[in-house]
Amino acid sequence: MPDVAANTSLPIVSTDVLDRRWIDVNIPCQAACPIMTDVPGYIEAILNADFETAYRINRLDNIFPGVLGRVCHRPCESACRHGREGLGEPVQICFLKRSASDFGMKPVDLDIDANGKSVCIIGAGPSGLTAANDLAILGYQVTVFEQYEEAGGMMRYGIPEFRLPYDIVRRDVKSITDLGVEIRTNTRIDSWEALDKVKKEYDAVIVSGGCMLPTRLDLPGLESDGVYWGLDFMMRSNRETLGIHPKNVVVIGGGFTALDCARTSYRIGAASTTIAYRRTREYMSFSGEAELEHLHEEGIRL
Ligand code: SF4
């Protein structure tokens, strides 16, 4: 590993061994975070008005703080001690992450020793970009092939811009290209021949093509005109290839994609939008009251 601490006050990747058991018992928010972000550490930095340190602490575990500061489903907040009965409301950990990114993001200044090896990554979504980030820091020459016009994968094309502005995705992606990673957009590898060619040109290839296929429902009529799979609907909307002006929309499902489809329908002029979910409201997998308020304000029926 390069001596990444040499020219910054904090390293850019964490190699610390965490005492998972201790964290589980003592820091419920950090234990609840899927990537175990050092929540107390970055909140303390914000308390000291040191947003740059707060950003860097976040980036140790998560290279997309701008994105997650807006769209994480924030399990850390439901685990927060301050939200326990009689103690008030949980700390707004996710929005604090957003402020760390918005006010503290600085270009990463890092001396990297090239190791002379090259890696090609197919797919510039979250996993491909994370691999690119970590390999670049280790000294590999990394090239990422992306089939669409822009990098970001699900962050760029699966989430509507009113929830996650495209510029925020671009900013987090830039923190990776700043490390010397090259991203070739509009470059699709879709045959064994193309893959063989890439394998000959690079020392290693990582296939990181995403999970774009929907879980299919067993319902008659799903192939009819005017019926879309949720993710396909969002991809077309974000690529401006939707080309429809729906009047009445029904969205089947109870997760974030269902909400995004419903709220996007409202924005493209649907006269009425209804979300149909097979169980009761408390089983819907979005975060909570804020989302319900948005639906109410936009006249979307549940
Ligand atoms: S907002 Fe998400 S990424 Fe950030 S600490 Fe909470 S769970 Fe982890």
Amino acid of residue 257: T
Structure-block tokens of residue 280: 């009761």
Environment class of 297 (CB within 10 Å of its CB; exposed 0-12, middle 13-18, buried 19+): exposed
pLDDT of residue 79: 94
User: Which one-letter DSSP state was computed for residue 294?
Assistant: H
- Please indicate whether the domains covering 20-104 and 230-297 agree at the CATH topology level: no
Atom of ligand 1 nearest to the CA of 58: 4
User: Which one-letter DSSP state was computed for residue 10?
Assistant: S
Q: Whose CA is nearest to atom 1 of ligand 1?
A: 94
Measured from CB, residues less than 6 Å from any atom of ligand 1 are 33, 35, 37, 39, 62, 68, 72, 74-76, 93-94, 97
**Ligand 1 centroid distance, CA of 42 (Å):** 11
**Ligand 1 centroid distance, CA of 38 (Å):** 9
pLDDT of residue 111: 84
CATH class, 20-104 region: mainly alpha
Query: What is the distance between the alpha carbons of residues 250 and 254, in angstroms, rounded to a whole number?
Result: 12
Domain residue spans of the chain? 20-104, 118-207, 230-297
**Ligand 1 centroid distance, CA of 96 (Å):** 10
Atom of ligand 1 nearest to the CA of 97: 4
Contacts (Cβ under 8 Å, ≥6 apart) of 214: 229, 230, 231, 232
**Ligand 1 centroid distance, CA of 295 (Å):** 24
ipTM: 0.87
Comparing CA positions, the residue from 253, 254, 249 lying closest to residue 237 is: 249
Atom of ligand 1 nearest to the CA of 73: 2
Contacts (Cβ under 8 Å, ≥6 apart) of 102: 66, 69
Q: Whose CA is nearest to atom 4 of ligand 1?
A: 94
pLDDT of residue 283: 83
Measured in whole angstroms, the distance separating CA 267 from the mean position of its chain's CA atoms is 22
pLDDT of residue 137: 93
pLDDT of residue 119: 98
| Per-residue confidence in pLDDT tens, the chain, 302 aa | 333 333 355 555 555 667 788 888 899 999 999 999 999 999 999 999 999 999 999 999 899 999 999 999 899 999 999 999 898 999 999 999 999 999 999 887 788 899 999 999 999 999 999 999 999 999 999 999 999 999 999 999 999 999 999 999 999 999 999 999 999 999 999 999 999 999 999 999 999 998 878 888 888 888 898 999 999 999 999 999 988 888 999 999 988 999 999 999 999 999 999 999 988 888 887 757 788 888 999 999 99
Pocket test for ligand 1, best of 23, 29, 30, 33 (most atoms within 8 A of CB): 33
Query: What is the distance between the alpha carbons of residues 72 and 247, in angstroms, rounded to a whole number?
Result: 31
**Ligand 1 centroid distance, CA of 76 (Å):** 6
**Ligand 1 centroid distance, CA of 37 (Å):** 7
118-207 has CATH 3.50.50.60 classification: yes
230-297 has CATH 3.50.50.60 classification: yes
Q: Which residues pair with 142 in a beta bridge?
A: 119
**Ligand 1 centroid distance, CA of 65 (Å):** 9
Comparing CA positions, the residue from 285, 46, 4, 275 lying closest to residue 139 is: 4
Comparing CA positions, the residue from 137, 140, 157, 108 lying closest to residue 206 is: 140
User: Which one-letter DSSP state was computed for residue 82?
Assistant: G
